[in-house]
Structure 1
Amino acid sequence: MTETTWQWDETLYAGSARHYSVGRLPYPAGLADAIRTALDLDGTGRLLDVGCGPGSLTLLLAPLFEAAVGVDADQDMLAEGRRRADGVGVLNVEWRHLRAEALPADLGVFRVATFAQSFHWMDRPLVARRVRDMLTPDGAWVHVGANTHQGVAGDDPLPYPRAPWPRIDELVASYLGPIRRAGQALLPGGTPSGEAEIMREAGFTDPTWITVEQGVVVERSVDEVTSAVFSLSSSAPHLFGDRLPDFEADLRQLLTTAARDGRFAERRSDIEVAIWHP
């Protein structure tokens, strides 16, 4: 895929926000500990979380800073972030509805900017340049690479069956076609790569890497895996149109048949963190 074959539109995650807190595995506390240690965070400075979604990473890291700003292009995601912040008592986050390409948007300077499963949806060269200029001289760009909708594939014994993700993908394709959907467009080559070159061209030094090892086995219900499917841009609820009830019924039937006592088990994958400095 090239940078010009797909363009963002506001329906990318339409209808997905309410499924995040149910269907996505939360980031572990160890991720915050690793980032705090690597950057010697002491509760000062500001955090900018770009493409923050419903605040999954924002709310985990906000207590490490004086203040945080979560930026996202989806109003429903931000509403969910505010709801979750109220629920856990995190009071130092400002939520801003705008695309990353609109930065700096008079937001000021930040000690850390984070991108978690979001950078590939943006005009990456433009965003990299603009965010670099928003960082303090000792600031850092933190890229979190994770897979939070499903666990690691494998055949090691688990207490319950693994969720049948290959069959889920086949079911989605039977409704939406074989080429991955993304908003109103198709994404035949998947999300783009080449991040390292873009970051270097924007003036960042080579990154340091952190691996947050997990391997923890978690149990998941049919409802949770159903929401995990709907939390994805490639199977966001709006894509099914008036066939949404039929798809959900078929999905739940598939999952109910594959589960044991309504439960699945998955082993959580490791999280890779790249820390770039201007």
Structure 2
Amino acid sequence: MAYPDDLVAAVRGQLGLDGAGRLLDVGCGPGSLTLLLAPLFEAAVGVDADGDMVAEARRRAAAVGITTIDWRRLRAEELPAGLGEFRVVTFAQSFHWMDQPLVARRVREMFTADGAWVHVHATTHRGVDGDDPLPQPRPPWDRVDDLVRHYLGPVRRAGRTVLPDGTQSGEEEVMRQAGYAGPARIDVGGGQVVTRSADDVVASVLSLSSSAPHLFGDRLPAFEADLRGLLDAASPAGLFSERTREVGLVIWRP
């Protein structure tokens, strides 16, 4: 699901942005956040380790006519990579996959004097659990999770590895040890009702590192057929409603 509309205004207001400076979005994926924030800056750079993500980001930028973003296939651990200085560096749902102490130290060298690091904490693949009435049924997420475990086993997968204890924690300690001050915290969005198609839900499931297409191997067609069967049983019309979750902005200063 898209980031909330008020995220841009919150970042602009909290950081006092005036159109100057450059943005670096680390782990940019298909550019969802980069494209939102790029108009707040003179120029932007989006980096991601996955070449297909970078290609999709370029395609989406071209489709909306944004030409101020330089897209690079690059691992965060390779920074600063000669990219120069930035007024804002963002990490949206990405920092927990990285060598956090190393990345925090290297990025600290890349800020201008008024620079800020922004973590964007969000769950955009699914909405808030609840039983309040909505225009369409909610996606049957519990049954979807059970189906993923049926195919991939009980231990959560993460791309080419596993996460028996979940993703990394201790982010604040990492940032303090790397010399950052803060943080300031803002919550934006949340509570909006959105309508999603069955295709949207399938795409959300397959976008996760824990249920990425390659994990299923030659069983992917069977998994997708079973997933669509679950969704069809939950909503024969193929439409679902969800309430969006809050997005948390955590801002550090170098």
Normalised to the residue count of structure 2, the TM-score between the two structures is 0.99
Specify the alignment match of 1:16 in structure 2: none
1:260 offset after TM fit, Å?
A: 4.6
**Alignment partner of 1:112 is 2:82:** no
Q: Distance in 2 between matches of 1:35 and 1:80?
A: 25
Q: Which amino acid aligns with 2:237?
A: D
Specify the alignment match of 2:210 in structure 1: 234
**Alignment partner of 1:249 is 2:205:** no
How many percent identity over aligned positions?
67
The answer to whether the 8 A contact 1:160-1:260 is kept is no
**RCO comparison, higher one (Cα < 8 Å, 6+):** 1
1:115 offset after TM fit, Å?
A: 0.3
The answer to whether the 8 A contact 1:161-1:260 is kept is no
Specify the alignment match of 1:131 in structure 2: 107
Specify the alignment match of 1:17 in structure 2: none
Specify the alignment match of 1:74 in structure 2: 50
The answer to whether the 8 A contact 2:7-2:189 is kept is no
Specify the alignment match of 2:251 in structure 1: 275
CA deviation string 1:65-110 (max 9, x = no partner): 0000001000000000001101111110000111000000000000
Q: Distance in 2 between matches of 1:69 and 1:188?
A: 34
Q: Distance in 1 between matches of 2:67 and 2:3?
A: 19
CA deviation string 1:208-245 (max 9, x = no partner): 11110321000111111000000100000000000010
The answer to whether the 8 A contact 2:5-2:189 is kept is no
Secondary structure of 1:80's counterpart equals helix
Matches within 5 A, 1:1-278: 25-278=1-254
User: Number of aligned pairs?
Assistant: 254
Q: Which runs of 5+ in 2 are unaligned?
A: none
CA deviation string 1:152-177 (max 9, x = no partner): 00111111111111110100010000
Q: Which amino acid aligns with 1:228?
A: S
Q: Which amino acid aligns with 2:2?
A: P
Q: Distance in 2 between matches of 1:245 and 1:259?
A: 21
Q: Which amino acid aligns with 1:145?
A: H
Q: Distance in 1 between matches of 2:39 and 2:104?
A: 25
Q: Which amino acid aligns with 1:210?
A: I
Secondary structure of 2:168's counterpart equals coil
The answer to whether the 8 A contact 2:4-2:189 is kept is no
Q: Which amino acid aligns with 1:219?
A: T
Q: Distance in 1 between matches of 2:65 and 2:3?
A: 18
Secondary structure of 2:32's counterpart equals coil
Structure 1 range deviating more: 245-254 or 207-216: 207-216
Q: Which runs of 5+ in 1 are unaligned?
A: 1-24
Deviation >6 Å, runs of 4+:
none
CA deviation string 1:111-159 (max 9, x = no partner): 0000000000000000001111101121000000000000000111111
Secondary structure of 1:57's counterpart equals helix
Q: Distance in 2 between matches of 1:214 and 1:185?
A: 32
Q: Distance in 2 between matches of 1:161 and 1:245?
A: 25
